[in-house]
Amino acid sequence: MIRRVIEKVQTLFTRKPRRPREPKRIPASEHHINQQLVPRSALRVCDTLQKAGFRAYIVGGAVRDLLLDVAPKDFDVATDATPEQVKQHFRRAIIIGRRFRLVHVMFGQETIEVSTFRALVNEERLTDQHGRVLADNAYGEQIEDAARRDFTINAMYYDPTTAEVIDYHDGVKDLRARRLRMIGDPEARYREDPVRMLRAVRFAAKLGFQIDEATREPIHRMGELIENVPAARLFDEMLKLLMSGHAVACITRLRAEGLHHGLLPLLDVILEQPAGERFVMLALSRTDERVRAGKSVSPGYLFATLLWHDVLVKWNARIAKGEHRIPALEKAIDETMDAQTEKLAIQRRFVSDMREIWGLQPRFERRTGKAPLRLLEHIRFRAGYDFLMLRAAADEVPAAFADWWTRFPHAGDEEREQMLREANENEPATAATRRRRRRRRGGGSSSADGEPRQTTT
C-alpha cells in the first residue's frame, strides 16, 4: 500500500511536462484587424527581422487594441533574435535595461520596443524575499514568452506578413467576453510582480472589462505587496493610470479593490476629506476629458492637483499661527513634498512645475499696480490660471474672482484700468491686501512700482 503511494508520488514528479498546447491561429478573415492602424515603423521592424531569418511579431497591448479596432499608443515587437542580433539590423537602435534587456529601435519620433522571447522558468531569474522577480534575461520559446505575460488579452502575437493572430491563452475569447483574466495562478503572478494588481485595475477601468473572479479575488489580500515595489516603478504605473483617460474609473476601482492606500501616501488622507476628494475627483475628470479629446496633459499639473489639498491644509495651519502667507506656503509645499518623495519618486522636472503652479496661487490675489500684468507674462501663467479655475469649480475661490482672471488677459488697456479699480473697491480684501493696506497706512515701505515689498519671516 505504502509502496503504491510512493510510486504514485514519484510518477507525479517524474511525469513529463504536458505537450505544449498548440496556439490558435486566427486568419485575417476572422479577426478583421485594420492594417492601416499599424505604423510603417512596426512593419519595418518585423519585416527586417523576418528577412534576416528570425521570427518577429507585434505583441501585447498593441494586438489587444488592434483587435478592439483602437489605435494602439505604442508598439512592441517580440522576436527570437537576441538583443545584439536585433541591434545589428537597424541603424538607430540601442540596447536598454540591465535586469530586463531589450532594444529600442527608433524611427524619427517613434520608438519600437523589441524584446527577445523570455524563458518561463530559469535559474537566471532573480527574485527578492517576497518572490518578486528582479531580473529576467534567459531567452526561450514563443510559447514560454506568451505564458509569462500578464493577462490573456495581452499575450497575443500578430504577424503583419501573414496577417495571422497567434493566441496561446484564449485571449480572443476573453476579449469578446470583455473579461480580464490572468495567465497562470493569479496569486503566484501577483507575488512575482505586485504591479500586476494595479495593471488589472487599469485595464479593467480603461477597457470597461470585468475582472475574472479568480484574478480579482487575491487582490484585496495581496495589496500590501505593492509596498515592496521600487518607488520609481510605482510612479510610472501611477502616471499611466492617471493619464489613461480613465483616471476617475481607475481610482474608483482601486478603492473598490482596497488598493488605494499607500500609492500616494497623502492621497489616502485627501480622499478621506470631503473637500479634498471633491477637488481631486474634479481634477481627474477634467484630465480624463483632455486625454480623451487627444489634448496634452502635464504630469506636473496633475500631481499639483492631487497634492494641493495637503498643501492647503498645511498652509492654512501656518497662517492661523500668524505666519505670513507667502513663506507659509513655501514651507507647506516643502513639508508636502518631503512626505511624498519618500515613497514616490516624483521626477525632478515635475516637482519644479508643481512648485510653480502652487506658488502662483497667492499671486492671483494681488490685483494692484503692475502685479497682474507681471503675472500674465509668467511662463506658467496658463497652468496657474487653469489651476485657479479648478479651485473655483470646487468652490474654493469665489466665481467672480475667477471670472475676473478670465476676462483680464483679453481686456484692452482702458478696460484693464477699470477692472483693477473695481477689484480694489468692490471685493473683500484678502488677508494679504489687508495687511499691506495696514502697513501702507502706517507708512510701510513700498517698492518703485507702488507694490508693497515682500515681507519674509
- Residues forming contacts to Mg ion in the complex (CB under 5 A) are 61, 74
**Minimal distance in Å, beta carbon 252 to ligand ATP?**
19
Q: Closer to Mg ion at the Cβ: 74 or 257?
A: 74
**Which residues inside 235-274 make contact with ligand ATP, applying CB under 6 A?**
240
Q: Which stretch binds ligand ATP (CB under 6 A): 146-154, 374-382, 396-404, 421-429?
A: 146-154
**Minimal distance in Å, beta carbon 63 to Mg ion?**
10
Output helix, strand, coil percentages for the chain, rounded to the nearest 5.
55, 10, 35
Q: Residue 302's binding partner, choosing from Mg ion, ligand ATP, none, with beta-carbon cut-off 5 to 8 A by kind? A: none
Binding residue for ligand ATP, selected from 23, 26, 61, 365, defined by CB under 6 A: 61
Please, which contacts does 345-348 make with residues 24 or more away whose CB atoms are closer than 8 Å? 345/231, 345/232, 345/234, 345/235, 346/235, 346/303, 347/235, 347/299
To the query of whether residue 74 is one of the catalytic residues in this protein, the response is: yes
* Closest of 197, 254, 204 to residue 229, by C-alpha: 197
Q: Closer to ligand ATP at the Cβ: 100 or 406?
A: 100
Looking at residue 80, its amino acid is: D
Q: Residue 196's binding partner, choosing from ligand ATP, Mg ion, none, with beta-carbon cut-off 5 to 8 A by kind? A: ligand ATP
**Is residue 193 part of the contact set for ligand ATP (CB under 6 A)?**
yes
**Minimal distance in Å, beta carbon 30 to ligand ATP?**
21
Sorted by sequence, the CB contacts under 8 Å of residue 17 that are 6+ apart come out as none
To the query of whether residue 76 is one of the catalytic residues in this protein, the response is: yes
Cα–Cα distance between 177 and 267 in angstroms, integer? Answer: 34
Give the pairing of strands 76-79 and 93-96. Answer: unpaired
**Is residue 150 part of the contact set for ligand ATP (CB under 6 A)?**
yes
Closest chain position to Mg ion (CB): 61
Residues in a beta bridge with 96:
102
**Is residue 155 part of the contact set for ligand ATP (CB under 6 A)?**
yes
Looking at residue 97, its amino acid is: G
Give the pairing of strands 210-211 and 179-180. Answer: parallel
Q: Closer to ligand ATP at the Cβ: 73 or 91?
A: 73
- Strand blocks (E) in 9-122: 24-26, 56-59, 76-79, 93-96, 102-107, 110-116
Query: Cβ(103)–Cβ(83) under 8 Å?
Result: yes
Residues in a beta bridge with 126:
135
Query: CA dihedral in degrees (74, 95, 60, 149; nearest 10)?
Result: -150
Q: Which stretch binds ligand ATP (CB under 6 A): 12-20, 23-31, 68-76, 439-447?
A: 68-76
Residues in a beta bridge with 111:
106
**Is residue 60 part of the contact set for ligand ATP (CB under 6 A)?**
yes
Measured distance between the N- and C-terminal CA atoms of the chain, rounded to whole angstroms? 87
**Is residue 76 part of the contact set for ligand ATP (CB under 6 A)?**
yes
- Cell 489605435: give the residue: 71
**Minimal distance in Å, beta carbon 60 to ligand ATP?**
3
- Kindly name the residue from 65, 150, 174, 212 that is annotated as catalytic: 150
Residues in a beta bridge with 165:
26, 158
**Is residue 344 part of the contact set for ligand ATP (CB under 6 A)?**
no
Q: How many residues bind to ligand ATP according to rule CB under 6 A? A: 13
Q: Which stretch binds ligand ATP (CB under 6 A): 25-33, 189-197, 379-387, 398-406?
A: 189-197
Binding residue for ligand ATP, selected from 86, 93, 112, 195, defined by CB under 6 A: 195
Residues in a beta bridge with 189:
none
**Is residue 79 part of the contact set for ligand ATP (CB under 6 A)?**
no
Residues in a beta bridge with 77:
58, 114
**Which residues inside 22-51 make contact with ligand ATP, applying CB under 6 A?**
none
Q: Which stretch binds ligand ATP (CB under 6 A): 3-11, 47-55, 73-81, 95-103?
A: 73-81
Q: Which stretch binds ligand ATP (CB under 6 A): 149-157, 270-278, 343-351, 380-388?
A: 149-157
**Is residue 346 part of the contact set for ligand ATP (CB under 6 A)?**
no
Q: What is the DSSP letter of 17?
A: P
Cα–Cα distance between 196 and 290 in angstroms, integer? Answer: 26
Binding residue for ligand ATP, selected from 31, 149, 191, 260, defined by CB under 6 A: 149
| Residues near ligand ATP, by CB under 6 A | 60-61, 73-74, 76, 149-150, 154-155, 193, 195-196, 240
Could you list the active site residues?
74, 76, 150
